[in-house]
Structure 1
Amino acid sequence: MRVCEMNWMQLEAYLERDDRAVIPLGSTEQHGYLSLCVDNILPERLAAEVAEPLGVPVFPTLNYGITPYFAAYPGSVSLRVETYLRVLRDILDSLARSGFRRFLLVNGHGGNSPAQGLVAEWTAEHPDCQVLFHNWWNAPRAWQEVQRIDPVASHASWMENFPWTRLTGVQLPDIQKPMTDLDRLRLLAPARLRETLGDGNYGGLYQRPDEDMQALWNAAVQETRDLLQHGWLPQPDAAAQERA
Structure 2
Amino acid sequence: MRIQDMHWAQVEERAKVDDRCVLPIGSVEQHAYLSLATDMILAERISVEAAEPLGVPVFPCLPYGMASGFADFPGTITLTLRTYINVIEDMLDSVYRSGFRRILIVNGHGGNSPIAPLLSEWMNSHRDTSVKLHDWWRAPQTMAKVQEIDPAASHASWMENFPWTRLEGAPVPNFKKDRIDFAATGRVDAGRKRERIAEGNYHGVFQRPDADMFAIWDVAIAETRDEIENGWH
Q: TM-score range by the shorter chain?
A: over 0.9
The count of residues paired between Structure 1 and Structure 2 equals 233
- Please identify the structure whose Cα radius of gyration is greater: 1
Paired-residue identity, %: 53
- Deviation of 1:39 (Å): 0.5
- Deviation of 1:3 (Å): 0.6
- Deviation of 1:111 (Å): 0.3
| Residue 61 of structure 2: aligned partner | 61
CA RMSD of aligned residues (A): 0.6
Cα distance in 2 between the residues matched to 1:37 and 1:231: 30
Once superposed, which parts of structure 1, at least 4 consecutive aligned residues long, lie more than 3 Å away? none
TM-score, scaled relative to structure 1: 0.94
| Residue 36 of structure 1: aligned partner | 36
148-157 vs 187-196, greater mean Cα deviation = 187-196
Cα distance in 2 between the residues matched to 1:127 and 1:182: 39
- Deviation of 1:83 (Å): 0.3
**1:87-106 pair list within 5 angstroms:** 87-106=87-106
Structure 2, unmatched stretches of 5+, are none
Measured against aligned partners, the alpha-carbon deviations of 1:9-28 in whole angstroms (never above 9, x if no partner) come to: 11111112100010000000
| Residue 212 of structure 1: aligned partner | 212
**1:1-244 pair list within 5 angstroms:** 1-233=1-233
Measured against aligned partners, the alpha-carbon deviations of 1:153-199 in whole angstroms (never above 9, x if no partner) come to: 00000000000001011111100000112122111111101111100
The secondary structure found in structure 1 opposite 2:31 is: coil
Cα distance in 2 between the residues matched to 1:156 and 1:218: 20
The secondary structure found in structure 1 opposite 2:12 is: helix
Measured against aligned partners, the alpha-carbon deviations of 1:185-215 in whole angstroms (never above 9, x if no partner) come to: 1111111011111000001000000000000
- Deviation of 1:91 (Å): 0.6
Measured against aligned partners, the alpha-carbon deviations of 1:98-128 in whole angstroms (never above 9, x if no partner) come to: 2110000000000001111111111111110
Measured against aligned partners, the alpha-carbon deviations of 1:117-161 in whole angstroms (never above 9, x if no partner) come to: 111111111110000000001110000001000000000000000
